[in-house]
Structure 1
Amino acid sequence: MNDELLCEVRDAALYLTINRPQRRNAITPAVLQGICDGILRANRDADIRAVIITGIGEQAFCAGADLQTGTSFTFDYADPYQGMANLFRCARQSTVPLIARVNGACMAGGMGLMAMCDLAVASESAVFGLPEVKVGLFPAQVLSVLQHVVPRRRLTEICLCGEPFSAREALAAGLLNYVSEDLDAELDRLLARLLNKSPAAIRRGLYTLKHVEAMSFEQSMAFTESQIGLFALTEDAREGQLAFREKRQPMWTGR
């Protein structure tokens, strides 16, 4: 991809690693574009079953925008589609699960990268926060991916006070699936539970989950009525039910 974002396929997972340790893995346009490109690649490649987003080293997952540049919030205002917003749109459309491997400080825009993922695992030493108000800003774009993850009153406090909080507090707030002293072992356990399931069911299932979130009850019922019929038409559905009856492990095709 580029020097600022490392890309590696391990088994059925694509690892995207922000490689800016000198700047606490802060975001740049190249990082945003690289992550977006990686997600798009995963959605085109049936052999990739998950995307892992993380940061290099043990100090930081992502510190957010690189304020040292002085240009982090300078945009072409004639362009209605900006880098971070485009990445959030890309993540929203992904039917390959995105997993945040939070290896250290997860601040500001880094919280957005974590929250846009479908699942998140963090180390015990990880620290979280939205400190934008301390420099006269506000985590406006991040709200789009955080508002359905964190309860409203907790989200308001995090945004308005700008104070850091621990991984255990993030877990209690619903931001994380797991916190562990052995981050990679926990991630491997999660991946193992994910990768032995039907690829077709997971891809269409994520599509369904993301669409019903913004629907009213009646809209979601009408939509899911049609979706359940499509699930049943897949090869994986037929194989899964046959394997259940024959008391054996299914052989997934992903179709």
Structure 2
Amino acid sequence: MQSPFFAPDTYTRFDPARLQYLKVEVKDYVLTLTLARPGKRNAFNQAMAEEIAFVLGYANQDTAIRCLVIKAEGPVFCAGADLNAFLDAGVQRSIPAPQRKVNLGEAFAFTYKPSIAQIEGPVLAGGFLILAGATFAYATPEVHFSLPEVKRGIWPMQVMASLSRRVPERKIMEMCMTGRLYTSAEAHQMGLLSDVINAGSIQEKVSELAGQLAASAPLAISSGMRAFQAMHTHNNQATLYRMLQEELEKLLQSEDAAEGIHAFKEKRHAVWKNR
């Protein structure tokens, strides 16, 4: 499972302590990625976007990671792209240079491990690439969401693609054209959020789900996520079901499938090998 932006051998140089704009912790098969640019409302410049894509790619290929949690420091989850910083041609990196220009929508689309966005502050503009890119998203009731680009003479181009997997087309156009604020309840109703959780309980809810995902069969999950992504490229129903049948047959031949069946018969917890 290779990143679309970084060569596989670059991950051997991954050192969380060197990241400029993120904090990363790995514990019990769960990687927690915290956006750590609160002074700029966690708006991402090019270097920060590259760091996010690098961490996603690292998690993709590390068998010790089965789930990702994405959080943020400060009162704003993510205010999107820092446009002034993107106009600056210079990039000071703490990680290897990508093979081509990074965009977060694609980085999330090619992440085949489940991720959970824990949202306790507003999400604006390009922050929707993280919100819609995550597999699950939980927010507190007071959070609001907005795509204000049209008010600045621009348009959330890449965000449209990410939203198209979560939200009906008419709602996407409404959000892009009006730039209005949406509450957590509205975001949940339109399918953008998995649930709305009180501030005192959201950490517990996210941790519980992350633990469940980390305990599930990692090869089955990653294979299922890849197959789900591939479904969007099939217009013919016959070839679609044939592809899915082939993916299931591959899984049935795996060591994890054999282990899962034996564990079920023996009434014990399975020991997954991710192969």
SS, match of residue 60 in structure 1: coil
Q: Matched residue of 1:150: which SS? A: coil
Q: What is the TM-score when the length of structure 1 is the normalising length?
A: 0.90
Match of 1:162 among 176, 179, 190: 179
- For 1:129 and 1:72, the matched residues in 2 are separated by 21
Residue 43 of structure 1 deviates from its aligned partner by 1.6
**Superposition deviation, residue 2 in structure 1:** 2.1
**2:95 maps to which residue?**
none
Q: Select 1:72's aligned residue among 66, 86, 89.
A: 86
Q: Which amino acid aligns with 1:246?
A: E
| Corresponding position: 1:54 with 2:71 | yes
Alignment of 1:206-225 (within 5 A): 206-216=225-235, 217-225=237-245
Look up the equivalent residue of 1:148 and give its one-letter code. Answer: R
C-alpha separation in 2, matches of 1:83 and 1:62: 17
* 2:250 match: 230
Structure 1 residues 213-222 or 176-185, which shifts more?
A: 213-222
User: How far 1:31 sits from its partner (Å)?
Assistant: 1.2
* CA offset digits 1:165-201 (Å, max 9, x no partner): 1111111111111211122111012112212211111
The aligned residue for residue 153 of structure 1 is: 170
User: What secondary structure is seen at the aligned counterpart in 1 of 2:192?
Assistant: coil
TM-score after normalising by structure 2: 0.84
What is the DSSP-based 3-state SS (H/G/I as helix, E as strand, rest coil) of the residue aligned with 2:23? Answer: strand
User: How large is the RMSD of aligned CA atoms in angstroms?
Assistant: 1.9
Deviation of the 1:73 alpha carbon: 5.8
Secondary structure of 1:51's aligned partner: strand
Judge conservation of contact 1:75–1:82 (CA < 8 Å) in 2.
Answer: no
**Whole-Å separation in 1 of the counterparts to 2:183 and 2:66:** 30
Q: Which residue matches 1:63?
A: 79
1:196 aligned partner: 215
Gap change, CA 1:173 and 1:74, over 3 Å in 2 = farther
Residue 241 of structure 1 deviates from its aligned partner by 1.2
Instruction: Please give the per-residue CA displacement for 1:66-102, whole angstroms capped at 9, x wherever unaligned.
Output: 24x2x536789xxxx5332xx3222222221122221
Aligned-residue sequence identity (percent) comes to 33
Amino acid at match of 1:247: K
Point out where structure 2 has 5 or more consecutive residues left out of the alignment: 1-17, 91-99
Deviation at residue 252 of structure 1 after TM alignment: 1.8
Gaps of 5+ in 1: none
Counterpart selection for 2:102 from 65, 69, 83: 83
For 1:1-255, list aligned pairs within 5 A: 1-57=18-74, 59-67=75-83, 69=84, 71-72=85-86, 82-84=101-103, 87-181=104-198, 182-216=201-235, 217-255=237-275
- Cα distance in 1 for residues equivalent to 2:88 and 2:21: 20
